[in-house]
Chains A and B, each alone.
Chain A
Amino acid sequence: MASTTETKQKKMLILKSADNDEFEIEESVGVQSETIKNLVEDGFTFVPLPNVYTKALIKIIDYLKKHANKTDSNDEEIKTFDKDFVNTTFDDLFELVSAANYLHISCLMNMLCQTIADRIKDKSPEAVRKIFHINCDYTPEEEAKIRKANAQAFEGQFDESLD
Chain B
Amino acid sequence: MEYFLSLPKDCLSEIFSLTSPKDAGRSSLVSRGFKSIAESDVVWENFLPCDYQQIINISESFLVYSSKKELYFSLCKSPILLDGNKLSFSLDNKTGKKCFMVAPKQLAFSWDPTSRYWGLSYYPESRFSEVAYFPGFRWLDIQGKIASQMLSKQTAYTVYLVFKLAPDAFDGLEIGTSVVRFVNREAEERRKARRIGLLNAQRRDDEWMEIEMGKFFNDAGEDGDVEALLMEIRRRFGIGSLLVQGVEFRPE
Residues of A bordering B, CB below 8 Å: 90-91, 94-95, 97-98, 101, 109, 113-114, 116-118, 120-125, 128-129, 132-138, 143, 146-147, 149-150, 152-154, 158
Contacts and interface: CB of A to CB of B under 8 A. Distances in A.
Given A101-B8, A109-B14, A150-B25, A128 B30 contact: yes
B11 interface: yes
Contacts, number: 96
Interface stretch (B16-24, B97-105, B184-192, B201-209): B16-24
Contacts of B11: 97-98, 101, 109, 113
Contacts of A146: 28-29, 35
A121 B22 CA distance: 9
A136 B7 contact: no
Interface string B58-93: 000000000000000000000000000000000001
Interface in B1-50: 1-4, 6-8, 10-11, 14-35
A152 B22 contact: yes
Given A152-B25, A152-B93, A136 B18 contact: no
B115 to A, nearest CB: 43
Nearest to B8: A101
Interface residues of B, number: 32
A157 B16 CA distance: 20
A101 B15 contact: no
Nearest to B13: A113
A8 B15 CA distance: 42
A144 to B, nearest CB: 10
A116 B3 CA distance: 13
Contacts of A91: 1, 3
Given A120-B23, A150-B26, A153-B26, A134 B2 contact: yes
Contact of A122 (B4, B23, B24, B25): B23
Nearest to A93: B3
B1 A129 contact: no
Contact of B15 (A120, A123, A134, A149): A120
A153 to B, nearest CB: 3
A149 B29 CA distance: 10
Contacts of A117: 15-19
Given A109-B14, A136-B31, A97 B7 contact: yes
A98 B26 contact: no
